Structure 1
Amino acid sequence: MNEQHFPAHFLSSLSAEPGFESENFINAHQNPNPLTSIRLNPFKGSAIKTDGQVPWCADGFYLDSRPSFTFDPLFPAGCYYVQEASSMFIDHILKTIRLNNDDPIKVLDLCAAPGGKSTLINSAIGGNDLLVANEIIKTRVPVLCDNLNRWGTPNIIVSNNDPKDFGRLTGFFDIILVDTPCSGSGMFRKDPAAMNEWSEANVNLCHQRQERILADIYPVLNEGGYLIYSTCSYSHQENEDILDWLCSEFDMESLRIPINKEWGIVETQSNQQKAWGYRFYPGQVKGEGLFASVLRKRGQSDQPPSFKSKGHQKLALKEIELVKEYLNEPNDFYYFKVNDDWLAINKEHKESLDTLQRHLYIKKSGVRLGKLMGNDLIPDHELALSIAINKDIVLQTELDHNQAIQYLRRENIDLNINNKGWSLMNFEGHPLGWAKLLPNRINNYYPKELRILSSQPL
């Protein structure tokens, strides 16, 4: 690939950018096989062969080749997430922010689908912390929910709202990640088709949209809270110019994040406010294009904002006792119903859940346990993948690789059955979902919408 393959004026627009090396950049885009990286789920330990660690993320690893993830049962089990390495820098930012501060926090991932950064945030925070993963585009919400279900933690709420809808939640969140829609130049190597959509006019439109999104969400950040701003663009207008605008318009304070020079990340400062930013250029880092920064809302909040509770559902204690059996540490959870489904979320988040339900369109909250039929629970797929499940009270059936693929295709599985009832179907000890074991057959309850449809590569 040479200069002529890039959009007109693209390389010239980058020539004055801090740390930009044209020859390195062009050579990196000639590589037809970009790096493949995954991030392990720290809540579901598994031995996966890797080829070196992503230096800015303890759970991130490179692979020496790209396997067929569709046919690796550990992927739908939620043991890892396939994520571009540069994006994992958000983990380093979060851990820098949280250093020496263990107070419970509420985090918003504003533009969350498909879920890479949400699962990363969820790994970096604790169970006492709450993550709200919001996706603006309705059609992208299901894949976000699926990926968070696989990750398995109960301290998550998924919403489907426009940024302006959060305006009633003044000062609600302690950290907000805004990975804004952008012109996408950082993905040129990974997705060459993106070059056809790039233009200087689109960069300007993205800049205006980014300002609008940030202006809508700024009041929702608590005083003393942190705004993490990132794009997959190299354009100054979408990066350093936005930092200048945030610092001048809202008097935000820029934070400098410690980095190792060996990582190859370019540290920059904006022209006017000297706000710190971090640029990732292919050829200089082992990853794709990214810009990231973090700013603090000035002021100090001694008390989190209070929101009136409307009270909670009055539920039958007998039913609660039945569903509690399916969770480890059952008294740590708040139990509630949505239609006929029983759900549970960490007890400390029930007031936040109530507030969010009154102001937002909620698509997922905590972990969905299932439906009660008499004294029996018809378990939900979310429960199977949850790290909170009490495996001691359910049957478990271990599958080999071929059987696991049959299960994930929602096909019949030939097994010698000695038990009857609902069973977790496991691969290498990790649940994939549920099946009903009957005397003469197995009813496969893997969700239809998630089943493998493609042919297995030879």
Structure 2
Amino acid sequence: MDNYNFPPHFLDDLCNEPGFDRQTFIDAHQSEPAPTAIRINPFKPSAVKTDSQVPWCAEGFYLNERPSFTFDPLFHAGAYYVQEASSMFIGHILNTIRPNKDGAIKVLDLCAAPGGKTTLLNSALQSTDLLVANEIIKTRVPILTDNLNRWGTSNTIVTNNDPRDFNAIHSFFDVVLVDAPCSGSGMFRKDPAAMNEWSEGNVNLCHQRQERILADIYPAIKEDGYLIYSTCSYSHQENEEILDWLCTEFGLESIRIPIYKEWGIVETESPLKKAWGYRFYPGKVKGEGLFAACLRKKESSGGLSNYKNSGQQKLPAKEMDIVKGYMKNADDFYFFKVNEDWLAINREHKESLNILHRHLYIKKSGVRIGKLAGNDLIPDHELALSLAINKDAVLSTELTKEQAIQYLRRDNIDLEITGKGWSLMTYEGLALGWAKLLPNRINNYYPKEIRIMSQFSSLQ
């Protein structure tokens, strides 16, 4: 079983890669199941049960067995994200380079869906920092926005653009993460079907695509800004060769990231420019295959003039006062409308929002509060999950686990009604969404598109 159905010549080629141990690698794929890991949301403290810690991530934890996340209300409330452990190393990179930056920073996750690395970056940022999450494929944008909504922060903007569209935003971002589309060999253990799709030809195509994406995004990085590059591939062409190309083509400076020997991560250098890279092999690390590197831009791509959106709506003061009442620390936010919906984003991001709105297709900005019907707010699901909500302004109804599952399915909830009007439905103190309490019934407003469809429940 030496080949474990690996593609022809795959292991022979991999033997030439730094730090690769053939037998350890085979054993990990044959006898070790892919570990389950979660990352705790630092903004939503909860009683999530965890086991051992992921060494390179303070909020990352392994689980001894994989539970049914679908039927855990804390998952739907955004208390944690289910994420492959190796990929959490991206947060370690950001935490390493962040102390070198004074003041607020702007960060771009260029290939963001489904949102694992986006929420990882978000956890390392302050509210004064801005995170832009871009997804190239339109059909993948909803899952990205859903996961960011659960995370609860309001310093995020989601865009749906090709990397070349960022060419117009020169010197805008302090940090850009390119988790590049790749041949996927690092996911063979987690997804054995990926072996059937892998080919040397696909590696070559991915290499070319990666170069195009990186060339397109380069002008958007500030002078002395950082590019974090990662793949879930073991291929030299998609990893060290890309680093050499970046250093040769753009003069980028390689940044060495501190690691500990006991982590099992293999530190590599590219053959020509000696750029630092970090390889993760199953069997050496408790995680899947990953390559990551960090480089610093040493030249300017020119400035970007400020943009004032003179076409912004004049907002009625009376409506504004009603909406502000639903937000904690309302004066810290910039409020605006998109059609009939009221939204808010941290005030310091107003100018950035205007610039991005001019050049990009924006799918989500800050937090969507809701729409007004007379003097009443019809609250949006985003507001329910947001950290910015003023909980003193709304009712709150605590649910048992069984009631929470009923709510998340949009079923009728077996609940004694003690109030009237819009109510946050909570589980262990964390909001799940909205319901409207009426004298003789409860109207469930959990969004249909994300409701639990499965009939199995750990409660049964």
Q: Specify if TM > 0.5.
A: yes
**Cα distance in 1 for residues equivalent to 2:33 and 2:413:** 37
1:107 aligned counterpart, secondary structure: strand
Aligned position for 1:233: 233
**Cα distance in 1 for residues equivalent to 2:33 and 2:290:** 18
Aligned position for 1:259: 259
Moved more, 117-126 or 91-100: 91-100
- Are 1:337 and 2:340 an aligned pair? no
Mark the runs of 5 or more structure 2 residues left unpaired by the alignment: none
Summarize deviations over 1:402-427 as a string: whole Å, max 9, x none: 00000000011121112100000000
Q: Aligned-pair distance for 1:50?
A: 1.0
Q: Aligned-pair distance for 1:309?
A: 1.4
Moved more, 448-457 or 405-414: 448-457
* Partner amino acid, structure 1, of 2:230: S
Matched ranges for 1:193-272 at <5 A: 193-272=193-272
Mark the runs of 5 or more structure 1 residues left unpaired by the alignment: none
1:38 aligned counterpart, secondary structure: strand
- Are 1:139 and 2:154 an aligned pair? no
> Contact between 2:178 and 2:228, CA under 8 Å: does it hold in 1?
yes
**Alpha-carbon spacing, 1:328–1:102, altered in 2? closer, same or farther (3 Å):** farther
Aligned position for 1:310: 309
1:238 aligned counterpart, secondary structure: coil
* Partner amino acid, structure 1, of 2:362: I
Matched ranges for 1:16-415 at <5 A: 16-31=16-31, 33-299=33-299, 305-311=304-310, 312-415=312-415
How big is the alpha-carbon RMSD for the aligned residues of Structure 1 and Structure 2?
Answer: 1.2
Q: TM-score, normalised by structure 2?
A: 0.98
**Alpha-carbon spacing, 1:165–1:100, altered in 2? closer, same or farther (3 Å):** closer
Moved more, 27-36 or 164-173: 27-36
**Cα distance in 1 for residues equivalent to 2:101 and 2:240:** 28
Q: Aligned-pair distance for 1:306?
A: 3.2
Aligned position for 1:7: 7
**Alpha-carbon spacing, 1:4–1:414, altered in 2? closer, same or farther (3 Å):** closer
**Cα distance in 2 for residues equivalent to 1:219 and 1:307:** 17
How many residue pairs were aligned? 457
**Cα distance in 1 for residues equivalent to 2:411 and 2:8:** 51
Q: Aligned-pair distance for 1:103?
A: 1.2
Summarize deviations over 1:136-168 as a string: whole Å, max 9, x none: 000000000000000000000000000001111
**Cα distance in 1 for residues equivalent to 2:235 and 2:61:** 28
Summarize deviations over 1:309-331 as a string: whole Å, max 9, x none: 12343111111111011111100
- Report the identity percentage: 73
Summarize deviations over 1:44-66 as a string: whole Å, max 9, x none: 00111111110101000000100
**Cα distance in 2 for residues equivalent to 1:418 and 1:174:** 50
> Contact between 2:129 and 2:155, CA under 8 Å: does it hold in 1?
yes
**Cα distance in 2 for residues equivalent to 1:357 and 1:163:** 16
> Contact between 2:408 and 2:446, CA under 8 Å: does it hold in 1?
yes
1:358 aligned counterpart, secondary structure: helix
Q: Aligned-pair distance for 1:393?
A: 1.0
**Cα distance in 1 for residues equivalent to 2:441 and 2:388:** 29
**Cα distance in 2 for residues equivalent to 1:34 and 1:2:** 19
**Cα distance in 1 for residues equivalent to 2:22 and 2:209:** 29
* Partner amino acid, structure 1, of 2:140: R
**Cα distance in 2 for residues equivalent to 1:153 and 1:70:** 22
> Contact between 2:152 and 2:386, CA under 8 Å: does it hold in 1?
yes
Summarize deviations over 1:38-83 as a string: whole Å, max 9, x none: 0000000011111111010100000010000000000010000000
**Cα distance in 2 for residues equivalent to 1:339 and 1:8:** 55
Q: Aligned-pair distance for 1:33?
A: 2.3
**Cα distance in 2 for residues equivalent to 1:146 and 1:445:** 16
Q: Aligned-pair distance for 1:208?
A: 0.4
Q: Aligned-pair distance for 1:226?
A: 0.1
1:48 aligned counterpart, secondary structure: coil
1:210 aligned counterpart, secondary structure: helix
* Partner amino acid, structure 2, of 1:270: S
* Partner amino acid, structure 2, of 1:201: G
**Cα distance in 2 for residues equivalent to 1:427 and 1:400:** 7
**Alpha-carbon spacing, 1:304–1:404, altered in 2? closer, same or farther (3 Å):** farther
* Partner amino acid, structure 2, of 1:108: L
**Alpha-carbon spacing, 1:447–1:133, altered in 2? closer, same or farther (3 Å):** same
> Contact between 2:421 and 2:437, CA under 8 Å: does it hold in 1?
yes
1:306 aligned counterpart, secondary structure: coil
* Partner amino acid, structure 2, of 1:44: K
